[in-house]
Amino acid sequence: MKKNVIVYVIQALILAWLLLCTYRACGQTLIHVKHLSYDIIYNQDRLSPECVYYVLQADDFKGSIKSKPKYFKMDTKLPPPRRKNKDFRFTNYQRGHLCPSGDRDGRKDWFKDTFVTSNIVPMTPAVNGGVWKDIEEECRSLVLAGHKLKIVCGAFTAVSNTNLPGNRNWFVPDSLYKIAKCIHCDTLQRAWIVPNDSYYHSQGTCITFWNHISPKLNPTVSKFISIWINQ
């Protein structure tokens, strides 16, 4: 029992260090951003989120809020430069939520707080309105079935940036990932990797495992996710 407590304390200290520090890892500036109901690890050099993580339970979504904001706000919790809503115009990509507004419509302030540019990545219309949406709905179905989930999602970003209209540079994701783990039962854990392309993908073809996702991530981010989701 005492040994388990010591292990938990060590894990908690590591987690606290990762959360509270703005740190430089692998030559990239990673910043922790805390929002009302979710957290972001943001890559300030690429102006793109590495991952978003949060807990999902039944009270978090009710489907009662139908009116969405007209645009995504800049995230003033981040230092300049910051992504703007207009950066997405005429790019052929959609503003894809990582923490979806549909997971946070149990409270109006939580819902509105998902519409910030640090919580989105460029997604193709086929992915954003297709399998990515299906995966979000699958996670909500698991919660309605009685599970409380820890969720982490993010993007595997292309090494080289993509030049978009207006000389705007974006690190457009090659693919996206999502992990959902039940807090109360060790047997339920789901993971997906979704190619960010123009083709139709089903959930079944995107199912994977954490050990296939972890090596593709920034090592610091990978270590943080492993600690947080298994805590």
pLDDT tens column, 164-182: 665 566 788 999 999 999 9
Backbone angles phi, psi at 157, to 5 degrees: -90, 140
24 neighbors 38 (Cβ within 8 angstroms): no
pLDDT tens column, 95-111: 999 999 999 999 999 99
Q: What integer pLDDT is reported at residue 151 of this predicted model? A: 98
pTM given for the model: 0.86
pLDDT tens column, 211-226: 999 999 999 999 999 9
Q: What integer pLDDT is reported at residue 163 of this predicted model? A: 62
pLDDT tens column, 8-32: 555 555 555 555 444 444 456 999 9
Name which residue leads in pLDDT, 62 or 61. Answer: 61
User: What is the rounded distance in angstroms from the CA atom of residue 198 to the CA atom of residue 123?
Assistant: 9
Superfamily of segment(s) 2-230: Extracellular Endonuclease, subunit A (3.40.570.10)
String of DSSP letters for 82-99:
---GGGGTTSS-EEEESS
Q: Which of 125, 129, 152 has the alpha carbon at shortest distance from 217?
A: 152
pLDDT tens column, 194-206: 999 999 999 999 9
Domain ranges of the chain: 2-230
Instruction: Kindly indicate the confidence band of residue 89, based on its pLDDT and cuts at 50, 70 and 90.
Output: confident
